[in-house]
Amino acid sequence: MLNHITIKNLAVVDSLDLELSSGLTVLTGETGAGKSILIDALGLVLGDRAEASAIRHGAERADIVAEFELQDPVIEKWLLDNDLDSDGECLIRRTINAKGRSRGFINGQPIPLQILRELGEQLVNIHGQNTHQALLKTDEQRLLLDNFSGTTAVRRELNQCYQQWKKKSAEYQQLKQDTAERDAKLELLHFQVQELDKFELQENELSNLEDEHKKLSNANRLIETSQKIYFQLAQDEQNSINHLLNHCLVELQDLSELDNNLNPISELLSNALIQVDEASSELRHYLDSLELDPEHLKWLDERISSIYDLARKHRVETHELFAHIDTLKKELEHLKNADVHLGSLQEAVTTTQKQYFKLAKKLSNSRKKAASLLAEQVMKHIHELGMAQCLFEIRTLPLDSKQPQLHGMETVEFYVTTNPGQPLRPLSKVVSGGELSRISLAIQVVTAEFSHIPTLIFDEVDVGIGGGIAEMVGQKLRLLGTKSSLAEAQILCVTHQAQVASQAHQHLNVYKQSDATKTSTKINQLNEEQRIEELSRMMGGVIITEQTRSHAREMRKQVTEAR
């Protein structure tokens, strides 16, 4: 539900801050006051196309912020699925600059306009000349009929069955294609596995071979340099590190007898001598292990080269080659047993398909029964709204397909004709905005308790009507504002009819305020006395008489007494 909207620098609005509540809210005002500005702003904040001309003259940008209270867990899940935190509320912002460029934000995060539109269609349904009319979409019509018929559980089971059938069918087709090419694949796999098995590649072998190759190919340098170091450490009788350390240690120990402070230094030299002796010993053993082996080096070259060749041949990285052997063996085993798998999958596809069509038939029967009942109830409301010649029909047409479909085996579409003798046409083809608004109102009244859209907006739903019909429209809008499957319903209506406005729970007056430099559209929420004056203005002429005010009070009294 829309709790709050802020509009800045849009059209003739400089700044507008508006709190909204549940139930029926009407917007009224003089012609040209800008009654549709709220609807235009909502359309923009929910993803409508934006143009630079929408910005107030002299301003750099327009800014619209709408705050929604979330009542539907489906919308909260959608926000979470799109990484948009909600916490029970949703803040949507749209900015438009002087170049016509715009940006959208949901809960402070910048998002593409397509995502904004997807969310908008779940939050607000606008009925009028420029609309977010989800009701005109066949998917929404099907959903309304299914909810009305109480088939939620069957649809969920059918959707799950369809997904399972689709998955098994894809697996079957893939395996069937593989089976057709099996002989050639089997021969190739046999050869590849045999070749790799014969090669006897070990895990991490290449890394070990390359380490060994590096060592052996540098054996000459390793031997020569190590021998030189060994000689400097221990073999040079006069200048070896071992000899010099020994000499220093003896002299320092003699001096330590004169000064005990030299003892720690003597100990350090003694430890250093031990370390040098150990290093000399380890280096000698290392030299004993080194040898020049041209034949083994040649074998290493060939083995490493063969591993790289095999990796290129099998189109894998060298470090993936060992695991690739296991993959090929599994694929080979799978193809050997393809006939068994194919038969098992075919049986699964057949079983799932039978279950799907059983559910689809059940859903079709429920839709046909509900379509007649829903159409009858909707047409009754349409006639009460002053369209006595209107015919309304819900058609369920079988799909030209023998394969399971996601939403069942038929399409659902609303058909209507407003003129006697004219054929019924899809609701989406109805041209008249006023007629479409009233038809939509009738549908919404009947299906409101199943509606998942919390805010409905009717822009001039009363065009071309008056008197008792206008009063009936108002009553139905009021009823719609209190009848919903959600915790609270919210109806916003732009109207010229006092009979409609008198039914509202909340009455907003739209007017223009001017001074010497600028003109701005303002919106005020009216108290009861102000409502009487506004209703009188809507009913009366240039001069509002006490009789007109009395009539307005009587209209309000009837509404309050009927609560």
Determine the 3-state secondary structure of 514 from DSSP: strand
What value, to the nearest 5°, has the Cα angle with vertex 204 and ends 211 and 201? 110
Residue closest to 131 by CA, chosen among 384, 439, 424: 439
pLDDT confidence of residue 162: 95
Q: Which two tokens stand for residue 243?
A: 């000899």
Q: Taking the CA of residue 9 as centre, how many other CA atoms within 13 Å lie in the half-sphere pointing to its CB? A: 16
Q: How far is CA 495 from CA 206, 383, 415, 434, 457, in A?
A: 82, 20, 27, 12, 11
* The two three-digit tokens of residue 156, written as one number: 């969920």
Tell me the one-letter amino acid at 199. F
Rounded to 5 degrees, what angle do the CA atoms 330, 335, 340 make? 115
**Alpha-carbon span 229 to 165, nearest angstrom:** 75
Q: For residue 13, report the phi and psi dihedrals to the nearest 5 degrees.
A: -95, 125
pLDDT tens-place string over residues 88-136: 889 999 999 988 889 999 998 999 999 999 999 889 887 764 444 667 8
Burial 16-28 (b: 16+ CB within 10 A, else e): bebebebbbbbbb
- Reported pTM: 0.60
* CA pair distance 521, 513, nearest whole angstrom: 6
Distance CA 465, CA 58 (A): 40
Looking from the CA of 350 toward its CB, the CA atoms found within 13 Å total 6
Residue 132 has a pLDDT of 46
Specify the pLDDT at position 373. 95
Q: Output the CA–CA distances (angstroms, integers) from residue 334 to 153, 181, 194, 329, in the order listed.
A: 38, 13, 17, 9
End-to-end CA distance of the chain: 23
Give the integer Cα–Cα distance in Å for 151 and 154.
Answer: 5
For the chain, how many residues are written?
563
Characterise 64 by phi-psi region: left (phi > 0), alpha (psi -120 to 50), beta (else): beta
pLDDT, residue 133, reads: 60
**C-alpha span between 43 and 63 (Å, rounded):** 13
Residue environment code for 290-299, b if the CB has 16+ CB neighbours within 10 A, otherwise e: eeeeeeebee
Angle CA 500–501–505, to nearest 5: 110
Task: Return the residue matching tokens 């409502």.
Answer: 531
d(C-alpha 401, C-alpha 141), whole Å: 21
What pLDDT does residue 130 have? 45
> For the chain, which ranges sit under pLDDT 50?
129-132
User: What sections of 385-447 are H helices per DSSP?
Assistant: 433-447
